[in-house]
Amino acid sequence: MKFKNMTAIFYAFAAAVFYALNAPCSKLLLEHIPPTFMAAFLYLGAGFGVGILYLFHHQKEPPEEKLTRPDLPYTIGMILLDIIAPILLMIGLHTGTSSNASLLGNFEIAATTCIAWILFREHVSKYLWTAVSLITISSMILSFEGIGSLKFSVGSLFVLGAAVCWGLENNCTRAISEKSAYQIVTIKGLCSGTGSLITALTAGETFPEIRYIFPALILGFVAYGLSIFTYIKAQKILGAAKTSAYYAAAPFIGAFLSFFILHEALSANYLTALLVMLAGTAFAVYDTFLCRHTHTFMHTHDGKTHVHTIEHTHFAGREHTHSLTELERWHFHA
């Protein structure tokens, strides 16, 4: 269990690192590619790249990992939400400010956790709630651009809508994370990329020069394809809520990469937010290695036999035993 959790944490952070490459590299390419076309090429790069890998891997996959008819609602939901969310975000940016959008966009972490807890009955402990709260606060500190970023407008509702869509999309992906990650990323990339491409053409964006398309596709394969692939691998073990907490490291890594690639200065906000995020991550790591299980015991009094189930939590790797006397102390008689 301990090794499995360590592997899952590695996958979650790997997903964050891959996605962090998106911001600084996309900023360079956006000088030559319109934004909606850029989104389309990133998704298509993910779909084509992981699809090629799948051609060499699909024969090794067990039949039960392939997507089937019961997975169709979650697959369709995942695709539609991935198309709707960016459109809502673009409308929010058009009618509001970018700083406001950045600040409110961090609600995705909380939205993912709340949806996982309410709709999908995923267990969220007090340690994970603390982690999510700290990480959300740290993300807001990172994207805070002055008092103007606190201004609420109609555009803010669209940005919040985008965050909720992505939170729901994360949970739809979690629902099928036991299936082939290759299939999921290929379908998600090609379908969402095609949707964004149609949106770009409909909106009348200028088609970019061919020489810039290939680098965008390569970036999409790494920043979207490999990121989503490792994210799904982490979700399979950690669940949607906990994976989103680890994945929240992406903007911090992105800002650090921008420091080296684009020579953008690291602000005091960054350092403050980093400390808060590390505190939140510590709670998430602690929660990951807590083992929760139950003890069942029987005893007799008043001529009747009673069966009691006791929930117990301990830290992974810590050997422990329970005596019957100890278990009985947890049982109260009227």
Note the pLDDT of residue 326: 46
Note the pLDDT of residue 296: 54
Residue given tokens 């810590």 in the structure block: 318
Buried b (16+ CB within 10 A) or exposed e, 147-185: eebeeeeebbbbbbbbbbbbbbbbbbbbbbbebbbbbbb
With contact defined as beta carbons under 8 Å apart, do 115 and 89 qualify?
A: no
Note the pLDDT of residue 99: 55
Residue given tokens 């995020």 in the structure block: 277
- Sign of the CA dihedral with 244 first, then 249, 251, and 253 last: negative
3-state secondary structure of 309: strand
**Segments of the chain assigned E as strands:** 290-301, 304-315
Note the pLDDT of residue 319: 47
Chain centroid to CA 267: how far? 25
Note the pLDDT of residue 330: 43
* Maximum CA extent, the chain: 85
Among 77, 87, 292, 109, CA closest to 198: 87
Residue given tokens 């929760």 in the structure block: 292
Among 220, 235, 44, 249, CA closest to 139: 249
CA atoms within 13 A on the CB side of 116: 30
* H or E element in which residue 323 lies: none
Task: Mark the ranges of the chain whose per-residue pLDDT is less than 50.
Answer: 293, 295, 310-312, 314-320, 322, 324, 326-334
Note the pLDDT of residue 21: 85
Note the pLDDT of residue 315: 46
